[in-house]
Amino acid sequence: MSGRGAPERLGQPNRAAMHASLWEGVWSNGSENMMVPFIPMYALNLGASPALIGLVSAIPTLLGNLVQIPAARLAERLGHRRLYRLGNAGRLLWLLPGLLPFLGLPTEAAVGLLIGLLALRTTMISMAAPAWTALMAQAVPMRLRGRYFANRNMLSSLAALIGSALGGWLVRLGGYPAGYTALFGLAALAGLFSFINASRMPEIPLPASPPAAGSGTGDRPPATPSVSPGAQLGWRERLRGAARFFGPEQPFRRYVLTSFLWTFSVNLPAPLFAVHFKQVLGGDEAIWGLVTASAMAMQMVGQRYWGHRTITVGDRNIMVLAGIGAASVPLLWALAPAPGWAFGVEMAGGLAWAGYNLAAFTLLLRLLPPGQQAGPVAFYNTMVGVAQGLAPMLGGVLVGFLGTRGMFVLSGVLRFLALTLFARSVRVPDTPAVELKHLRPYWLRRRRSRLGDRHPPSSAHSS
């Protein structure tokens, strides 16, 4: 009965929000992946050392994520929709860093200004993250989340693939600095289309029924639907409500802690892969764009594969299974003897990361009660953002002692440690048991079914 009534609850605002978010994701991922893979090499061309490259990655990420908790508070005042639009305007700032080579600045000043501009851009975009999460939790019903976000991520991965390949082509065509300047400009243009789609986000009505008792959201929602009910509470009640998310019976606390360790281990060597590819393996900058594009292509395949299994396998189980592949990526990089190996490593990583990222987001939404996503999500994003910011800083120091291959080994070991802690400590109700048949591709299952129809089992052995 509920299954037949569920589609009726998907109203026009929900459909419009899902459509706007889908195309915003396409353009924003295209914009990001035009430039982000080439930022370390751009910094190298500006004269930055490996330690400074670590700061180029770390400081914008750290500052951007430290604003998440204030951003959640700001969303309660401005509304989720308005802050989502405002933060998305940060994607227009890609144009400014492309002008640095023409200013004639010393290396330290140029790199410092690059860090400042990237930090401003990242901070604005990060402010929109809690608001976007709350909007999506309201807009997308639970039954559709796996398929919707899988499709959104698949189209976003296609845009990312095109963006990274186009970035590599422009860098090869124009070189430094003209190719990079053109690339920054094109990324800003894609960011403009992302902002236009974000501006089309409609008001999302809150659920009609009040949340369950004890969730801290018993008051009626305010007049503006996009503002959380928590906006009516004082700071003392707000802190008490937040503390309940970290009680011993709450898996959210353990999810945050294990995510912190996982994110730290992932980002420890993050800016060093491009440096290792160019300086150690002898790869070409334009080929690096193709390597990144190959990972995006496999993410598209992976989104479709894992998206169909969020119900039968469960998002927690997908995080564990796909996490094994994601944890193995830096170890494979450490063993790579030549630039061509990077294609295979990144393609395997793309397939694994597609499942892990999809399941991590849907599981995060499932661990939070309706109507209170912005605050806890802001805390979660801040914690993982601190890990994203601190890890490259430490990595920039340790690379002088361990080298890039040693950093990759350290990252792999820490990833497996974080994944083991997650698998042992985060228990989620209603998680199905993993069966091998649920992991087989559908085309293989249909083939086995057709073979079974052609050769039915003998009645003598049917018992």
Q: Does domain 11-200+248-453 have CATH number 1.20.1250.20?
A: yes
Cis ω before 177 (30° cut-off from 0): yes
Burial class (CB in 10 A: 0-12, 13-18, 19+), 187: buried
**What pLDDT sits at residue 270?**
82
Q: Where are the domains of the chain?
A: 11-200+248-453
| Separation in Å, CA 117 to CA 109, 122, 175 | 12, 9, 22
**What pLDDT sits at residue 428?**
74
CA quadruple 195, 199, 201, 203: dihedral positive or negative?
A: positive
Going by C-alpha positions, the residue among 205, 232, 139, 215 that lies closest to residue 369 is 215
Q: How does pLDDT run across 207-226, given as a tens digit for each residue?
A: 544 433 333 333 333 333 33
Q: How does pLDDT run across 431-460, given as a tens digit for each residue?
A: 656 555 555 555 455 555 454 555 444 433
**What pLDDT sits at residue 461?**
35
Alpha helices in 249-373 (DSSP H): 251-267, 272-275, 285-307, 315-335, 341-366
Going by C-alpha positions, the residue among 195, 190, 266 that lies closest to residue 32 is 190
**What pLDDT sits at residue 370?**
60
Going by C-alpha positions, the residue among 121, 196, 187, 118 that lies closest to residue 159 is 187
Enumerate residue ranges in the chain where pLDDT < 50: 1-8, 208-235, 239, 242, 246, 248-249, 443, 449, 451, 455-463
Write down the pTM of the prediction: 0.60
Q: How does pLDDT run across 288-334, given as a tens digit for each residue?
A: 878 887 887 888 788 777 776 766 777 888 888 889 999 999 999 99
Contact 88, 310 (CB under 8 A): no
**What pLDDT sits at residue 443?**
44
d(CA 221, CA 420): 40
Going by C-alpha positions, the residue among 154, 423, 138, 161 that lies closest to residue 307 is 154
d(CA 242, CA 174): 51
